[in-house]
Amino acid sequence: MKISKLAIVPLVLILSACNSMPQKPAAEANVKPVQQPIINAEQGDALYAKKEYRQALAIYKGLHEKAPKDTHVLFRIANIYSHLKVHKLAIKHYELALNQDKHLTKAWYNLGVVHMKEAAKTWGNMSKYTNKDEPLAQSAEHYHQGLVALINPEKR
């Protein structure tokens, strides 16, 4: 399809005239601006306190994207993963927090507890899945029971 050069000139003039016309303000055009929700640690902390971990995690992840070195956010993400029993991610986030501040006592403590839970799980699985006559089976059960007692002293 060929368009003559003479037909293009009026078309360009019409289109440029449309573009230069004054625009209506958003209020007159019935267009409301989109408001972005303000996400802050206080919202995450409130949800965390109510044990609404999945909702709190979404907020903390958003905060982590904006401030990846914030130790409070990293610590809370780790705690939430620990509560949700996603131990690998809990360990990762405790370690990220500790990379920022080696003096976070609670992060060290919780990291140790999560490692003990994972170790207890490993020893328990060994006891469950190996032959009881195996030389290491009795030792595995001993370690499993010992770690469970350390993690949950009230269940002795």
Ordered structural domains, the chain, with CATH: 41-155 (1.25.40.10)
Structure tokens at 6: 């003479």
SS3 40: coil
pLDDT at 11: 46
CA distances for 120 relative to 32, 38, 83, 94, 144, angstroms: 56, 41, 16, 19, 5
Separation CA 14–CA 126 (nearest Å):
79
pLDDT at 29: 46
pTM equals 0.71
* H runs (alpha helix) in the chain: 5-19, 41-49, 53-66, 71-83, 87-100, 105-129, 137-151
Name the pLDDT band for 153 (thresholds 50, 70, 90): confident
Answer yes or no: is pLDDT of 96 > 90: yes
pLDDT of residue 113 exceeding 60: yes
Half-sphere exposure of 49 (CA within 13 A, CB side): 6
C-alpha 33/C-alpha 20 separation (Å) is 23
* Phi, psi for 28 (deg, rounded to 5): -75, -30
d(CA 42, CA 132) in angstroms, rounded, equals: 52
